[in-house]
Amino acid sequence: MNFNTVKFLISAQTLQQCPADTGSEIAFAGRSNAGKSSAINTLTRNKSLARTSKTPGRTQLINHFELTPESRLVDLPGYGYAKVPKEIKAKWDRNLAEYLQNRNSLCGLVLLMDIRHPLQDFDRQMLNWAAQAGLPVHILLTKADKLKRGPAMSSLLGVEKLLRDMDPGFTLLSAQIFSSLKKTGLEELEKKLASWLED
């Protein structure tokens, strides 16, 4: 699976504007300051593919990127932090929920969390929903370069303990350490995504 060939496809405000619901999609979700766009750019080796910003919450649309004619990566609106009016935020949340609940081609969710502040309320909400829907989730603990190895591993073990309680066999839920800056964990992420798409 060559992630370098990914190209921008379309930005959608609603589920109805998304590409045809066929093939396979992997969605990236996370708090607005979790480094979602940076992770997508690192994965695809394209610094300008997903828009990064010093202002969290710039991703306000469902952005689709084509990997192959039958597979896509999807950058979902960030949640929980953006400085936008409440009615706009509520609309994002509705679009996000609708996409996650009704998109048949969705084969996996990459849930990004800042390694220094994992498992916030909305992260847990996403995990609970995914577990009920039987959707595989891979947690990326981002910004790992901001911690020394000991504290980083401690954060990972804490997250894995919660995942083990929710999914004892680790069949649907998994987690790893990641740094866009140092490219830590890039190969592990590629293998996980390729396994989902090949299934």
pLDDT at position 92 over 80: no
Pick the CATH number of 3-198 from 3.60.20.10, 3.40.50.300, 1.10.10.10, 3.40.50.2300: 3.40.50.300
Mean pLDDT of 93-101: 78
Mean of all residue pLDDT scores within the chain: 88
Q: Which two tokens stand for residue 197?
A: 């798409």
Q: In what order do the strands lie in the sheet with 7-12?
A: 7-12, 62-68, 71-75, 24-30, 106-114, 137-142, 173-177
User: What tens digit of pLDDT does each residue of 2-52 get?
Assistant: 999 999 999 988 888 999 999 999 999 998 889 998 999 999 999 888 876
Is the sign of the CA dihedral 178, 183, 186, 188 positive or negative? negative
* pLDDT of res. 1: 83
Q: Map out the domains of the chain as residue ranges.
A: 3-198
Q: Dihedrals φ, ψ of 169, to 5°?
A: -90, 5
Helices and strands (H, E) in the chain, number of each type: 5, 7
Residue 115: name the closest of 150, 71, 78, 77 by CA: 150
User: Considering the entire predicted model, what is its pTM?
Assistant: 0.92
